[in-house]
Amino acid sequence: MKLRSMLISTLLCATLAGCGYIAVTAAPQKKATTARTEAALKADALFWDTLHGAKYDQIPSALEAVTGAYLANPSDPVTAAHAGWLHIWRLAESARRDAVPATITDDAILARRYFDEAVRLHPGEARYLGFLAGTTLAEGNIHKDEKLTRKGYYQMLDAVDAWPEFNLFTAGYTMSRQPADSERYKQALEWQWETLDVCVGEKINRADPGYAKYMSLATTEGRKRVCWNSWIAPHNFEGFFLNMGDMLVKAGAWQAAQKIYANAKLSPTYAQWKFREVLEQRIRDAQTNVAVFKAADLAEDKTHQRIMVASTFACMGCHQN
């Protein structure tokens, strides 16, 4: 047996890229730990305070704590993922800044690296997989690296299979910056509809997508919890419909968008949601926003309304307390 594997190694050494390939493939896997260090728990607390408190300016100090905890224990998938989330938040809401530096794109690369680590340490966590796919797509787009983009796309399809209620949304949201009449954009919007279908367990009526009759399905447990509000995402429900309305407007379907936006108001905590003014303005401006959203989500001009993914509340629309 030993002789045989030595023989195979020698053969591979000679035929493939050489011994380097074998050495890399044979390197030991990192082992995950579920034990959390004191530093990791402290970093968690700062992480949640920063995210739920919408303290975008506090991202550097939260990252310092989370990265420090990660370096002290690089086998902890939760800490690795938190580092990824802080980086992607900083990039996602960069519209908050007066001037967006070119180096902001480094956050996509770092986020991708940390989610990659988190997925390897905890392959069964499909939310990590969705964010790994999203950040890989972002990185592919930054470098105009079509191979990487395709890799991200297929990772995303795997993530959708692993947890459709969560990752159909993630997939569509990530791709909502695509040009309005592209196939990818149509797919992205289709995924939002499918999110609703899997959340309610039937095909939702697209001509009349009123959600009132489904409100009794709300849960904070199991896979369907991600369809509703929770401690993690206190206004997920409202944010979901805000984004989906924006995506419909961008596709030109502004009347359907008005119905979808209105579903956000069914949330029992709608009155506490910081972005209800935004939503109500969106309902009023739905028709005029068609041209605005089609044209401008990549433009630097800050005077107009921007589709949610390109807005100052791309994450906070769901996660701010």
Q: Applying CB under 6 A, which of residues 63, 66, 92, 119 lies at the interface with ligand HEC?
A: 92
Based on the shown chain and the rule CB under 6 A, indicate whether residue 164 belongs to the binding site for ligand HEC.
Answer: no
C-beta closer to ligand HEC: residue 112 or 319: 319
C-beta closer to ligand HEC: residue 88 or 171: 88
Which of these ranges, 20-28, 85-93, 142-150, 251-259, lies near ligand HEC under the rule CB under 6 A? 85-93
Whole-number Å distance between alpha carbons of 319 and 321? 6
Going by C-alpha positions, the residue among 259, 296, 38, 97 that lies closest to residue 179 is: 296
Going by C-alpha positions, the residue among 267, 272, 173 that lies closest to residue 214 is: 267
How many Cα atoms sit within 13 Å of 134 on the Cβ side?
32
Supply 160's token pair.
């959708």
Residues 81 and 110: beta-carbon distance below 8 Å: no
Side chain identity, residue 123? P
Based on the shown chain and the rule CB under 6 A, indicate whether residue 73 belongs to the binding site for ligand HEC.
Answer: no
State the binding string over 221-240 for ligand HEC (x if CB under 6 A, else -).
----xx---x-xx--x--xx
Q: Please count the residues of this chain forming the interface with ligand HEC, following the rule CB under 6 A.
A: 19
Whole-number Å distance between alpha carbons of 115 and 177? 21
- Stretch 239-258 residues interacting with ligand HEC (CB under 6 A): 239-240, 243
Q: Is 17 exposed, middle or buried (0-12, 13-18, 19+ CB in 10 A)?
A: exposed
State the binding string over 103-142 for ligand HEC (x if CB under 6 A, else -).
------------------------x---------------
Residues 88 and 65: beta-carbon distance below 8 Å: no
- C-alpha Rg value of the chain to the nearest Å: 21
C-beta closer to ligand HEC: residue 114 or 240: 240
C-beta closer to ligand HEC: residue 159 or 233: 233
Binding site residues, ligand HEC, CB under 6 A: 85, 88-89, 92, 127, 225-226, 230, 232-233, 236, 239-240, 243, 314-315, 317-319
